[in-house]
Structure 1
Amino acid sequence: MELYLVRHGETESNREKRYTGWTESPLSSSGLRQAEKAGVFLAAAGIDELYCSDLQRAVATASLIGAGSGLEPLVTPLLREIHFGEWEGLTYREIEKKWGNAVREWFDDPFGRSAPGGETIEDVCRRLRTFIAHLEKSRKDGKKIALVSHGGTIRAFLYNLLALDRKSFWDMRIDNASISLLRREDGCYKIVYRNRLDHLAAADERKESNDAD
């Protein structure tokens, strides 16, 4: 089984560097183009199934990806971003102004701490373990499965499946519309690549070539 972990395209909140969490934020014009380009890449990869978070930025990204592969996204709340509680919709500075060092303390211990009314990373991991168990019990061996999710959630996926050290959690960069590939062999997951972005530039190059013809 191969898992293509895809972060949704850029949103308006991403541009403003806001903690979006479970709050809805539409894809920007750039985010829409990114999703289409990711779709071209995944169609060429030959994905068999497509899942996505139920937040609209993920659904919109997955719908554009699915259009290129003839797949209807299977929507699940288990793939949602971490819930930021009272910090949702705010920037780092806005949070710091009201809650002081709380945001830095959360970054230092995201598995044990949460935003007021929000989730810890461990809460997200529990959701993901439920989802992963579903995939493995469904006997997806040999399948290529794309999962459209969020930055924090994809980090939690990698942490869970690769048994990474907690200290490395924030070291994993996950850009908008990036693709990370995990392969399951003999019951173990191995990373093939992480935060791949060349499909975005490659799609631009193909379009320029086609326009010139």
Structure 2
Amino acid sequence: MRTVYVIAHPESTHHVECLVGGWYDSQLTSAGLRAADAIADALRARIAMQVDVELFASDLRRAARTATVIGNVLQVPPVLDPRLREKSYGEAEGKPREWLDRRFVRPPVLGERMRHDEGISGSETIAAFAQRVYAAMDAIRQRDCDHQIVVTHGGAITFVVAAWTMLPIEALGYARFHAAPGSITELREDDYFHNRQVVRLGDTRHLSRERL
């Protein structure tokens, strides 16, 4: 049985400063670092010491640092993959959220949503975002390892989960799977039918214990 643990990186400086994230290369806050420790401990409790583990992460600092903390505990080096980055918001990245909100063009209720132009120069379409996350997940899924960890971003979780369940990209115009910062999503594939499950989506119980 294969299990994939998908981590949404924890609190970063752009969260607390109310800045647009995307490819803006923000860092983990002190709270984010404590959450990364809690994530690593939670994964160590779920994954036996003697089994092989693979660890993949977005190359943006907030995800890469989270992966480094996890890798130190599980004794596995992270493989950084830019395809696991958050959606690019082009010229909005690093700017105040209100700057983006004033210019953002919402997708239509009906019609073309995946290739919709959001009105922000250099911003990725949802279709382009989905395609690169799907490519990363296809490469991960083709590897022969029963325990894999993917450290990515909250917006990317939708396409990680959708890729895992083999949903066609063109069907995702309205689909969103929410996973809070620092959460763990658990995906599983059985060895007999090769059915793929979403066992847990956005689990944050380990963070509650960390705050005690």
In the superposition, the TM-score normalised over structure 1's length comes to 0.84
Q: Which of 189, 204, 208 is 1:201 aligned to?
A: 208
Distance in 1 separating the partners of 2:109 and 2:30: 30
Distance in 2 separating the partners of 1:37 and 1:187: 31
Following superposition of structure 1 onto structure 2, how do residues 15-94 of structure 1 map, counting pairs within 5 Å?
Answer: 15-46=16-47, 48-94=53-99
**Corresponding position of 1:182:** 187
Q: Which of 141, 144, 147 is 2:147 aligned to?
A: 144
Q: Which of 160, 172, 175 is 1:168 aligned to?
A: 175
Q: Which of 134, 139, 156 is 1:129 aligned to?
A: 134
Distance in 2 separating the partners of 1:182 and 1:69: 19
Distance in 1 separating the partners of 2:134 and 2:67: 21
Distance in 1 separating the partners of 2:115 and 2:81: 25
> Given the superposition, is the C-alpha separation of residues 88 and 42 from structure 1 closer, same or farther in structure 2, using an over 3 Å criterion?
same
One-letter code of the match for 2:83? Answer: L
**Corresponding position of 1:191:** 198
Aligned residues: 198
SS across alignment from 1:152: helix
One-letter code of the match for 2:121? Answer: P
Distance in 1 separating the partners of 2:10 and 2:109: 24
Distance in 1 separating the partners of 2:141 and 2:161: 16
SS across alignment from 2:198: strand
Residue 110 of structure 1 deviates from its aligned partner by: 5.4
Q: Summarize deviations over 1:69-92 as a string: whole Å, max 9, x none.
A: 111111111111111101112334
Higher helix share: 1
Q: Summarize deviations over 1:23-76 as a string: whole Å, max 9, x none.
A: 111111100000010000011111711111110111111111111111111111
One-letter code of the match for 2:154? Answer: G
Structure 2 runs not aligned, ≥5 long: none
One-letter code of the match for 2:198? Answer: I
Q: 1:2, 1:145 within 8 Å by CA — same for their partners in 2? A: yes
> Given the superposition, is the C-alpha separation of residues 36 and 95 from structure 1 closer, same or farther in structure 2, using an over 3 Å criterion?
same
**Corresponding position of 1:211:** none
> Given the superposition, is the C-alpha separation of residues 40 and 107 from structure 1 closer, same or farther in structure 2, using an over 3 Å criterion?
farther
Q: 2:39, 2:70 within 8 Å by CA — same for their partners in 1? A: yes
Q: 2:134, 2:159 within 8 Å by CA — same for their partners in 1? A: no
Distance in 2 separating the partners of 1:132 and 1:12: 27
Distance in 2 separating the partners of 1:107 and 1:183: 33
SS across alignment from 1:145: strand
In the superposition, the TM-score normalised over structure 2's length comes to 0.84
